[in-house]
Amino acid sequence: MNRYPVWKYILILVIVTLGGLYALPNIYGQSPVVQIKPKEDVAVTEETVEHIESLLDQAKIVHNHAAVDGDTAVVKFHDLDAQRQAQDLLSKEPTLKGFDTAMNLKPNVPEWLENLGGTAMNLGLDLRGGVHFLLEVDMKSATENKKKQIRADITALLIKEKIPKKKLIWIGDELHLEFRNLENLEKASDLIEDDFTELTLKSNTGDGVYELKGILTEQSLNGIKETALEQNLTTLRSRVNEVGVAEPIIQRQGLERIVVQLPGVQDTTAAKNILDATATLEYRATHMSQADTMEAARTGRAPIGTSLYYETDGTPVLLKDRVIATGNQLIDAQATIEQQTGSPAVSVKLNSVGAARMLEFTKNNVNNFMGVVFKERIPIGKNEAGEMQYKDKEEVINNARINGVFSNQFQTTGLGTQKRAQELAMLLRAGALAAPVQIVEERTIGPSLGQDNIDKGVLSVQIGLAMVLVFMLIYYRMFGLIANIALTINVVLMVACLSLFGATLTLPGIAGIVLTVGMAVDANVLIFERIKEELRDGNTVQGSIKSGYDKAFSTIADANVTTLIAAVVLFAFGTGPIKGFAVTLSIGIMTSMFTAIVVSRAVVNLVYGRKKRLKSIAI
Amino acid sequence: MNILSNIKYDFMGHRKMALILSLTLIFISVGALVTRGLNLGLDFTGGTVVVVNFEQTASITDVRNQLENAGFANTVVKNFGSSQDVEITVPPQNDASSSEGVDEAKLSNNMLTVLKQLDASAKITKADFVGSQVGDDLIEQGSLALLYAIMGILIYVTIRFEWRFSLGAIAALVHDVVITAGVFSLWQVEFDLTVLAALLAVIGYSLNDTIVVFDRIRENFRKGRKIETRDVINNSIGQTLSRTVITSFTTLLVLLALFYFGGALIHGFAFALLVGIVVGTYSSIFVATTATMALGISREDMIPVEKEGANLDHIP
């Protein structure tokens, strides 16, 4: 009477096998690696890999065979010291100048398992070491900057249109504009309405007062904040590559904050300096003589009034020292498609000051070239006298022909691919006046502490699990053994789910696993106690097993759903470590219901189900 | 093996004593929370905690003097785990204007530079800096999380059982959370983010226990025999007692493993759950049931209501 159909056994077998398979990658451990990736968008060659290996051999750094993974060369090491030495060596190697080197941890999953889609759980920073930053964008200054800009632009507009004004000031989020007569007010109102969509206009006339109020709506204030956050995100993404970290995480958190996680980084000084860096850009006229440029590149001396720069691909460019427009005057840059040719382009918007200077310059320079220099100042620490020292990074990100006269709005074309256009737009935005960021949280975990945390976490799972298994075996004997099988499968399934979902395992996550082990037996305890009760009431053995499982089910379901509610709330409100705990707890609740009810029943049926005249069971 | 199986005991007869015990514990806990408050960790208060590792045994006095001479005021220096590890705590710098705020973020790096002059082998094993604004947000988020968890559970239990059970369950879990927090306040154990997570886990666990008892009460009511409410509750607690004790025991086993072998970072978490589960087991037996009974639960409340519409169908 207690028998499962064959398909149920097959289903359980399939789930357990798959669970085992996808949990398997986690037992191989992880190895420190150095990844070498070409800066250009090309794949790494066999020669480069051989070159890297010979460099490591010369320096007598013990390493495994280097392999190519996608467009990246990956070298594995036995310990963290060798990895560090190799990173130092390779990042300073002049013949590898066109490559980015980064340290990483890679799971040692065998190839056949990887082909099946098996991956190991990601380790959180508290388990692998590294640094976590929470940055807050200074939204107050972002809004202030925007307000200043609007004021300056309206002033310029009114001057251009020859409309005299009496007053123009910001009071809170309201711009107050006063005119001498109604005619001026109406003219100005129409113009402003067209050009400044972020303002909601309201006029207030009477008693000889002609006032126009421009209110920054909630929506446009949010827009300003959104832009400031996005701008900082893009800048940080492009900068963090400098740190030499393979898998940095840069994410927004909420409306004003950005999370930056750099696994494996120990020297946080360098990382903080990079976060503190400021970027700007300059539009400058290109010196047109090709001969001068080649000469300057050869000797390193630029003609007077010009400076030598290089483009990203290494082409030398001579730019005149006079600046046409700076990043502070850039309002926006977006990648678009040019209307006539359909080729990728970047459309740039300048403010009034920049527009005036651009107009004046382009009038006299049609068909000449104009370059954009991207400048980054990275603080590198204080000198003896306590003054902050900076490292300047300057690069020409675009050098294009001026096709016509333009002022506040123009397009840069001839960029080739959409990707290039997007990159240029991103860099231009990054160089525009950004709201400053401030570090509001930092968590650094040394790599040895990370390993220590893994060891302790694994040890406590093992001891906790062992104690529960022993107790269950003593208390419930045969049924205890069955519960233990279910419990072990539960842990395997949890690990498999976490690996498949790409969840990040943290120390609180391990605590969640441990806690689930303790609570997962609950369902079996409920069932077994129920069976005992039925037996005491004089029910037959088979009948007791059946009604024990049936009656306990609704209790188990209710109890687990309420715990799940708590776990989901934790997930929704928690950040970082708490989220990790909530994820393992929720997954554990679901897998434990499957193993404790379905799997344990399957085993019970297998052992006892066929015996019709069963007199007693070991429970 | 059988322990505590099918206990016939008048649990509800002791409900006055249980009430006195619970009220005393809550009174002490609330008193401690009001007068002493919680020893809030870095996560909530903001500030900087740096753990520095030295190759030789580090002298706390030397480290403190070195830091003081370099101008780091108000630091608390103590050993962390071993004699080679030193934990340095710096309270949040509240007077910071925005430019000084950046300096606070770099405190750990500046500190390391100073300590390297004392002993070149100094290494940062752990550095936490939390700005005070982050801490405030956490307190808000944490309280909201507690509130929403309680509301979600209230709704679920009301739908599945009855509102009296729902209030009984909430009474039990508020009881558990207050007493657990009270223990943290009384002994001034550090209350950090992981402890908050543990408190929410206690809610989940306490409910789990309570629901099992409620489920049995509902079942016994529905059996339909004419028994006193009080006896139904007594029987239900007795019938589930073995399960309650065994599950709490296995959970305590793994928590003890976590407490003793899980390392310093998880200590507070394990401690909070240890306390919470002991209190939660007690409350699911006495508090939740007593409250539900006091609210006047009876057999009629649990019998599925005869739908009036069902009768109307028969009217031609």
pLDDT of residue B8: 81
Which of B103, B253, B269 to probe the A interface (max A CBs under 10 A)?
B253
Q: Which residues fall within 8 angstroms of residue B259, CB to CB, at 6 or more apart?
A: B267, B270, B271, B274
Per-residue pLDDT, A576: 67
Distance CA A336, CA B274 (A): 60
- Closest among A248, A246, A273 to A260, alpha carbons compared: A248
pLDDT digits (tens, 9 = 90+) for A395-415: 888 888 888 888 888 888 877
CATH of B12-40+134-302, one of 1.20.1640.10, 3.40.50.1820, 1.10.340.30, 1.10.10.10: 1.20.1640.10
Residue B50 has φ and ψ, to the nearest 5°, of -120, 130
Burial of A342 (0-12, 13-18, 19+ CB in 10 A): exposed
Chain B positions in Cβ-Cβ contact with residue A567 (cut-off 8 Å): 204
Q: In this predicted structure, what is the pLDDT of residue B279?
A: 95
Question: Is the separation of the CB atoms in A421 and A335 below 8 Å?
Answer: yes
Q: What is the dihedral of CA A5, A7, A8, A10, to 10 degrees?
A: 130
ipTM value:
0.85
Identity of the residue numbered A543: G
> B133, A442: Cβ pair inside 8 Å?
no
Task: Round the CA-based radius of gyration of chain B to a whole number and report it.
Answer: 26
H helix or E strand, kind and range, residue A169: strand A167-171
CB contact under 8 A, A577 and B194: yes
Mean per-residue pLDDT over chain A, rounded: 84
The nearest CA of chain A is from the CA of B313 a distance in Å of 31
- What's the average model confidence in pLDDT over A4-21? 92
Q: Nearest Cβ partner of A532 from B2, B51, B207?
A: B2
Class of domain B47-130: alpha beta
A495: which DSSP letter? H
Residues linked to residue B127 through DSSP beta bridges, in sequence order? A444, B50
The interaxial angle of helices B193-222 and B267-285, nearest 10 deg, is: 20
Instruction: Tell me how far apart the alpha carbons of residues A556 and A522 are, in angstroms, rounded to a whole number.
Output: 8
Which of the four pLDDT bands, split at 50, 70 and 90, describes residue A173?
A: confident
Q: Each residue of A60-84: pLDDT tens digit?
A: 888 887 888 777 888 888 887 888 8
Would you list the domain boundaries of chain B?
12-40+134-302, 47-130
In three-state secondary structure terms, A537 is coil
User: Inter-chain contact A460–B252, Cβ cutoff 8 Å?
Assistant: no
The identity of residue A310, as a single letter, is Y
- Helices A577-593/A447-500 angle, 10° precision: 40
Quick check: A325 pLDDT over 60? Answer: yes
Contacts of B203 in chain A (CB under 8 A): 566
Q: Could you tell me the residue ranges of all domains in chain A?
A: 6-25+446-608, 30-107, 140-221, 278-442
Distances (CA, A) of B280 to A220, B208, B277: 50, 10, 5
**What is the structure's pLDDT at A466?**
92
Nearest of A398, A403, A402, A404 to residue A421 by alpha carbon: A398
Strand partners, B76: B89
Best to test chain A binding among B214, B265, B271 (most A CBs inside 10 Å): B265
Q: What is the mean pLDDT of residues A116-128?
A: 84
Which CATH code for domain A6-25+446-608?
1.20.1640.10
Encoding tokens for residue B2?
A: 């059988």
So what's the pLDDT on residue A529?
92
How many helical (H) and strand (E) elements, i.e. helices and strands, does chain A have? 17, 22
Mean of pLDDT values over A168-194: 86
State the smallest CA–CA distance between residue A473 and chain B in angstroms: 10
Look at residue B237 in the predicted model and tell me its pLDDT. 92
Residue A443, Cα to own-chain centre: how many angstroms? 17
Burial readout B267-303 (b: 16 or more C-beta within 10 A, e: otherwise): bbbbbbbbbbbbbbbbbbbbbbbbbbbebebebebbe
The 10 Å Cβ neighbour count of residue A491 is 21
Closest Cα in chain A, distance from residue B124 (Å) = 7
Check residues A586 and A149 and name the one with the higher pLDDT: A586
| pLDDT tier for residue A472 given thresholds of 50, 70 and 90 | very high
Element (H, E) at A143: helix A139-160
Domains B12-40+134-302 and B47-130 share a fold: no
Given a contact cutoff of 8 angstroms between Cβ atoms, the answer to whether A409 and A347 are in contact is yes
Q: How far off is chain B from A509, nearest CA to CA, in Å?
A: 11
φ, ψ of residue A335 to 5 degrees: the values are -75, 130
What are the CA-CA distances from residue A13 to residues A313, A501, A544, B251 (Å)?
Answer: 56, 21, 26, 28
pLDDT of res. A214: 87
A555 with B212: Cβ contact below 8 A = yes
| Mean pLDDT of each 10-residue bin along chain B, 316 residues long | 76 89 95 92 85 85 86 82 84 54 70 84 86 79 82 86 89 92 93 84 84 90 82 91 91 91 85 93 92 85 58 47
Residue A381 is predicted with a pLDDT of: 66
Cβ of B254 within 8 Å of Cβ of A468? The answer is: yes
Dihedral of alpha carbons B203, B205, B209, B211, sign:
positive
- Say if the Cβ atoms of B141 and A573 lie within 8 Å: yes
- Give the model's confidence band at A207: pLDDT under 50 very low, under 70 low, under 90 confident, else very high: confident
Could you give the CA distance from residue A72 to residue A38 in angstroms, rounded to a whole number?
7
- Chain A residues lying within 8 Å of B261, measured CB to CB: 456, 459-460, 463
The minimal CB distance from B105 to the residues A272, A457, A472 is found for A272
Task: From residue A268, give the alpha-carbon distance in Å to each of A172, A251, B108.
Answer: 39, 19, 9
> What does the pLDDT read at residue A187?
86
CB atoms B194 and A514 under 8 Å: no
Question: Nearest-CA residue of chain B relative to A447?
Answer: B125
Cα separation of B176 and B182, whole Å? 10
pLDDT band at A12 (very low <50, low <70, confident <90, very high): very high
**Looking at chain A from residue 561 to 590, which residues have their Cβ under 8 Å from any Cβ of chain B?**
561-563, 565-570, 572-575, 577-578, 581-582, 585
Residue A461 has pLDDT above 90, yes or no: no
Q: What is the pLDDT of residue B313?
A: 47
For B197, the token pair is: 């997570």
From the centroid of its chain, how far is CA A578? Answer: 18
The answer to whether the Cβ–Cβ distance between B253 and A518 falls below 8 Å is yes
CA distance A534 to chain B (A): 11
> Are B258 and A525 inside 8 Å of each other by CB?
no
Distance from CA of B306 to the nearest CA of A (A): 22
- Quote the CA–CA distance of A480 and A489 in Å, as a whole number: 14
Q: How confident is the model at residue A387 (pLDDT cuts 50, 70, 90)?
A: low
String of DSSP letters for chain B: --SSTT----TGGGHHHHHHHHHHHHHHHHHHHHHT--EE-HHHH-EEEEEEE-SSPPPHHHHHHHHHHTT--S-EEEEESEEEEEEEEE---TT--HHHHHHHHTHHHHHHHHHHHH-TT-EEEEEEEE-HHHHHHHHHHHHHHHHHHHHHHHHHHHHHS-HHHHHHHHHHHHHHHHHHHHHHHHTT-EE-HHHHHHHHHHHHHHHHHHHHHHHHHHHHHHT-----HHHHHHHHHHHHHHHHHHHHHHHHHHHHHHHHHS-GGGHHHHHHHHHHHHHHHHHHHTHHHHHHHHTT--HHHHSPPPPHHHHHTT--
The C-alpha atoms of residue B304 and residue A328 are separated, in whole angstroms, by 72
Looking at residue A547, what is its pLDDT?
A: 92
The token duo for A258 is 């950005």
A197 vs B48 pLDDT, higher one? B48
- Under a CB-based contact definition with an 8 Å cutoff, are residues B51 and B126 in contact? yes
Which pLDDT belongs to residue A383? 66
Local confidence band at A17 (pLDDT 50, 70, 90 cut-offs): very high
CATH architecture of A278-442: 2-Layer Sandwich (3.30)
CA angle A91-A393-A253, nearest 5°?
85
The Cα B227–Cα B130 span in angstroms is 59
Name the fold adopted by A140-221: Gyrase A; domain 2 (3.30.1360)
pLDDT at A95 > cutoff 90: no
Q: Distance between CA A564 and CA A587 in Å, rounded?
A: 9
CATH number of A30-107: 3.30.70.260
Looking at residue B312, what is its pLDDT? 46
Residue of chain B with shortest Cα separation from A472: B250
Q: List CB contacts of A191: < 8 A, sequence separation 6 or more.
A: A157, A161, A163
- Least reliable range by pLDDT among A311-315, A317-321, A606-610: A311-315
**Shortest distance, CA B93 to any CA of chain A (angstroms):** 12
Report the pLDDT value the prediction gives residue A11, as an integer from 0 to 100.
93
Over the Cα atoms of chain A, what is R_g?
Answer: 33
